[in-house]
Amino acid sequence: MVLITGGTGFIGRILLKQLVELGVEVRSLLRPSTLSPRLPKGIPFDVTISSLADYRGIRAACNAVKTVIHLASSDRGLRDYFPEREIAGTRNLAEAAAEAGVERFIFLSHLGANSTSAYTVSRTKAMEEDAVRKSSVPFTIIRPSIVFGPEDHFTTQVATQLALSPLIYLLPGKGDTLLQPLWVHDLTTAITWTLDDPATLGQIYEVGGPEFLTYRQVLELVMAVLKTRRILVPFRPPYLRVGAWLMEHILRDPPISSFWLDYLAINRTADLNSLPRAFGLQPTRMESNLGYLQKRSWIRDFFSRQIKRHGKIEF
């Protein structure tokens, strides 16, 4: 039995479906909510309800579980992000898993996790990693670069920003931050391959896609897919942060957030051969998998998200 947190999120829904198709018994841990969870349809899996703050609840969820995959996070904006809650939740889950005799704890962190980082999410992820390592549960930590795919929080944000910017697009700085976009199915495949591989226990993997791209190059790829053009204008990040702060306090799902700017503030890269070396998997180039961006009306979607409550990653 595999217990997944974050099964309603972008990565979690794909991973959950992939595991079930491989014949793995899956249990999805959902936090209590009045909203209908966005779970994959048409596939069999168990569901259990508990907050990560409820130790007894998550301890019960870990019964008869061999592997825990901890994906849950709430890092889309200031409104729903509380670092102390993230760290405490991960610590509770790791300790509950250890007490229940779980054989493997897979934690999805971030590339750039560092306890001395100037950026909140990077510091928080580093402290969550530390909580996992200090527990007695056997662990594997994966630090992916920016992950892209249908319903992601990266390329869809770029598409929305372009749609809302009729003539010019304000680049954070010069747009020369290096990224290494990783196709979501490559990441979920790598996760599934760690389930029964004893060599991955106690390891921390930094993984990314097959190419380094500047943020400007990513924009060019997205604009080409959407068949649109914008004038890319370098803009000082501190001024963009002021705008992001205002939008985070006004909009339910802002097109730009402080976390978005944090991600683009430093290079987010691993070795180009990180995925083949660690998992024997050849990652997919970004330009080959952006067709999903053509299937949505980004302006309509943006205003729809402001009307309904959206943007939390359920766990």
Q: Which of 111-125, 126-140, 201-215, 216-230 is the least confident region?
A: 111-125
The model's confidence at residue 260, banded by pLDDT at 50, 70 and 90, is confident
Q: Exposed e or buried b for every residue in 11-44, given b needs 16+ CB within 10 A?
A: bbbbbbbbbbeeebebbbbbbeeeeeebbbeeee
Nearest CA to 144 out of 105, 190, 94 is that of 190
Provide the 3-class DSSP secondary structure of residue 144.
Answer: strand
Provide the phi-psi class of 186: left if phi over 0, else alpha when psi is between -120 and 50, else beta.
alpha
The CATH topology of domain 1-144 is: Rossmann fold (3.40.50)
Encode pLDDT of 67-93 as tens digits.
999 998 865 555 556 788 999 999 999
- Can you give the pLDDT at residue 308? 64
What residue ranges do the domains of the chain occupy? 1-144, 148-181+208-267+283-310
Q: Supply the pLDDT for residue 97.
A: 98
Torsion (CA) 144, 301, 293, 283 in degrees, nearest 10: 10
Identify the architecture of domain 148-181+208-267+283-310 in CATH: Alpha-Beta Complex (3.90)
Q: Is 259 left (phi over 0), alpha (psi -120 to 50) or beta?
A: alpha
First to last CA, the chain: 18
At 120 the pLDDT is 85
In whole angstroms, give the CA distance from residue 132 to residue 126: 10
Percent of the chain as helix, strand, coil, to the nearest 5: 45, 15, 40
What confidence score (pLDDT) does residue 152 get? 93
- Between CA 58 and CA 63 the distance in angstroms is 9
Nearest to 94 by CA among 48, 54, 31, 139: 139
pLDDT for 105 equals 98
- Show the CA angle centred on residue 264, arms to residues 15 and 293, nearest 5°: 50
DSSP labels, 176-233: --EE--EEHHHHHHHHHHHTT-GGGTTEEEEE--SS-EEHHHHHHHHHHHHT---EEE
Average pLDDT, the chain: 90
Regarding pTM above 0.85, the answer is yes
pLDDT score at 75: 57
Q: What is the pLDDT of residues 142-171, one digit of tens each?
A: 999 999 999 898 999 999 999 999 899 999
Give the DSSP letter string of 62-89.
TTT-SEEEE-----S-GGG--HHHHHHH
Q: What is the structure's pLDDT at 228? A: 95
Closest CA to 144 of 94, 118, 180, 189: 180
Euclidean distance between CA atoms 177 and 50, whole angstroms: 39
User: From CA 24, how far away is CA 26, in angstroms rounded?
Assistant: 6
Of residues 76 and 181, more confidence is placed in 181
Question: What mean pLDDT comes out for the span 31-39?
Answer: 71
Mean pLDDT of 259-283: 92
